[in-house]
């Protein structure tokens, strides 16, 4: 990896260099009822909109790589035959400006199942291949537990990663194209003092984590506690609204719907993101539901993320961003649920 340092006022130049492309980044979405600022990822048309010192975004980046609704293909029907037209819905390369480590890690995890598996998902892959990612160091929030999930720093899956050293940015360059961009910027090799400052800044950040999840033997504990009473308690709270999965950067399950146009000559096949928390997720022919109760479904979400994925890919499908807990109206958070399953939380029966 190559490192560079550039003064903060150079950032706008970096933006300008990239601005011929579509740019997505954190923008302000007003304030919540307590006056706290809200952020979300959106297209950026003006450098002033870019809020690099954002706390966390409500939704993840997922809408850009796994849109909540996506047309997979269309059909033209003739009297006795039909044609299928496939469009991967990727047209433009896009710069993602200002992703935190957790979100970059989330994409890396999605890659494993959506690109690495025997059947790659071409719709995802097409968008994924057209990303230019600029990461940025974050300030841990009270709900962040990425440190516990091992996703508090990111080793690959980005082009450039910026760390705020006060009056300058420390840039990790991870791709040739990023290197090319940096060469049109006023920047230089970091000095030794800046190496130290970089380490120091990261250490300070490490010390700020307040939220933890104990993942020791979690795969086994989830198996052992499959029948635990706490699941029922969480289930009674859960609204089965799927919000947790919708805001999660790594939840990817979906449903398919096919519709015929009013003219009866065309049809479309649409994919829409689903959630394993929704009531009919595991319903099959004849109406049998493999997970009829909300606690069955809630449990399954944890089971998939913290056990199944680990078995398949040696790592958890959760990056510890805490969004699901933040968005859950019933206050169901990963740290509390896992603690209670481990028999530690206040909620343990």
Partner 1 sequence: MHKLPFVDVLAEKQNHARKQDLTSFEYTFQAEITNVYPLTTTEKLYQIQIIDPEERQRFSFQPGQFVMLELPGIGEAPFSISSSPIRHGDIELCIRAVGNMTDFLARVPRGTRVGISGPFGTSFPVEQMQGHDIMLIAGGLGIVPLRAPIFAVLENRNRFGNIDIIYGARNPSELLFTYQYDMWRQFDINLNIIVDTGDADWQGPVGRITTILEQRIAAAPNMGKNTYAIVCGPPVMFKFVCDMLLKAHLPMQQIFVSLERRMHCGRGKCCRCNIGSTYTCLEGPVFDYWSVMNMKEAI
Partner 2 sequence: MTAKEHTYLGVPVKKPKVAFFEFTSCEGCQLQLLNNEATLVDFLALLNIVNFREAMSEQSDDYEIAFVEGSITRDDEAEQLKEIRARAQTLVAIGSCACFGGVNQLKNRFNDLAWVKEQVYGSHPIESREAMPLSAIVPVDLEIYGCPIKKEEVERVVTNLVLGKSIDYPKYPVCVECKANHNVCLFDLGQPCLGPITRAGCDAWCPSNRLGCWGCRGPAEKPNVRQLRQIMHEHGFSDEQMLDRLECFGGFGQYVSELKSASKE
Ligand X SMILES: Cc1cc2nc3c(=O)[nH]c(=O)nc-3n(C[C@H](O)[C@H](O)[C@H](O)COP(=O)(O)OP(=O)(O)OC[C@H]3O[C@@H](n4cnc5c(N)ncnc54)[C@H](O)[C@@H]3O)c2cc1C
Interface residues with ligand SF4 (CB under 6 A)? Answer: 238-244, 247-250, 277, 298, 305, 318-324, 328, 330, 332, 334
Query: Closest approach of Cβ 268 to partner 2, in Å?
Result: 11
Q: Between residues 168 and 333, which has the closer beta carbon with respect to ligand SF4?
A: 333
- Residues 290-329: x where in contact with partner 1 by CB under 8 A, - otherwise, as a string: xx----x---x--xx--xxx-xx-----------------
Report helix angle 294-303 to 334-341, nearest 10: 100
Q: From residue 258, give the alpha-carbon distance in Å to each of 52, 160, 267, 269, 295.
A: 40, 40, 7, 4, 30
Candidates 56-64, 191-199, 234-242, 283-291; binding stretch for ligand X (CB under 6 A): 283-291
Q: Between residues 41 and 161, which has the closer beta carbon with respect to partner 2?
A: 41
Number of other CB atoms surrounding residue 125 within 10 Å: 16
Query: Closest approach of Cβ 144 to ligand SF4, in Å?
Result: 9
Look up tokens 């028999």; give the residue: 343
Interface with partner 2, residue 261, by CB under 8 A: yes
Interface with partner 2, residue 287, by CB under 8 A: no
Interface with partner 1, residue 118, by CB under 8 A: yes
- Which residue from 210, 213, 229 is spatially nearest to 305, judged by alpha carbons? 213
Q: From residue 292, give the alpha-carbon distance in Å to each of 278, 282, 284, 305.
A: 10, 8, 11, 20
Q: What is the total count of residues that contact partner 2 (CB under 8 A)?
A: 40
Candidates 84-92, 119-127, 199-207, 271-279; binding stretch for partner 2 (CB under 8 A): 271-279
CB 51 within 8 A of CB 28: yes
- Which residue from 195, 290, 246 is spatially nearest to 4, judged by alpha carbons? 195
């Amino acid at each position: 990896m190559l490192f560079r340092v550039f003064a903060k006022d150079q950032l706008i130049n970096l933006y300008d260099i990239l601005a011929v492309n579509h740019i997505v980044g954190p923008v302000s979405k007003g304030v919540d009822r307590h006056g706290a600022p809200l952020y979300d990822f959106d297209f950026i048309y003006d450098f002033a909109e870019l809020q690099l010192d954002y706390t966390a975004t409500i939704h993840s980046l997922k809408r850009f790589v796994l849109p909540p609704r996506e047309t997979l293909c269309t059909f033209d029907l003739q009297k006795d035959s039909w044609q299928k037209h496939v469009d991967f819905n990727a047209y433009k390369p896009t710069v993602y400006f200002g992703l935190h480590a957790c979100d970059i890690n989330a994409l890396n995890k999605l890659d494993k199942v959506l690109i690495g598996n025997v059947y790659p998902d071409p719709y995802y892959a097409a968008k994924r291949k057209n990303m230019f990612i600029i990461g940025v160091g974050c300030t841990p929030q009270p709900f962040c537990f990425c440190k516990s999930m091992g996703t508090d720093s990111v080793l690959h899956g980005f082009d450039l990663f910026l760390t705020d050293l006060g009056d300058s940015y420390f840039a990790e360059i991870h791709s040739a194209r990023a290197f090319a961009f940096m060469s049109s910027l006023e920047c230089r090799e970091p000095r030794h003092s800046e190496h130290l400052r970089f380490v120091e800044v990261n250490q300070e950040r490490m010390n700020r984590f307040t939220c933890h999840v104990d993942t020791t033997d979690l795969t086994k504990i989830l198996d052992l506690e499959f029948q635990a009473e706490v699941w029922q308690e969480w289930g009674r709270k859960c609204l089965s609204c799927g919000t947790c999965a919708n805001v999660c950067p790594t939840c990817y399950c979906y449903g398919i719907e096919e519709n015929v146009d009013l003219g009866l000559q065309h049809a479309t096949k649409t994919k829409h993101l689903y959630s394993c928390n929704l009531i009919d997720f595991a319903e099959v022919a004849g109406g049998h539901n493999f997970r009829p109760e909300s606690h069955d479904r809630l449990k399954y979400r944890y089971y998939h993320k913290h056990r199944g994925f680990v078995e398949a890919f040696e790592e958890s499908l959760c990056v510890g961003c805490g969004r699901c807990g933040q968005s859950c109206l019933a206050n169901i958070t990963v740290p509390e649920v896992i603690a209670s399953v481990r028999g530690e939380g206040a909620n343990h029966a």
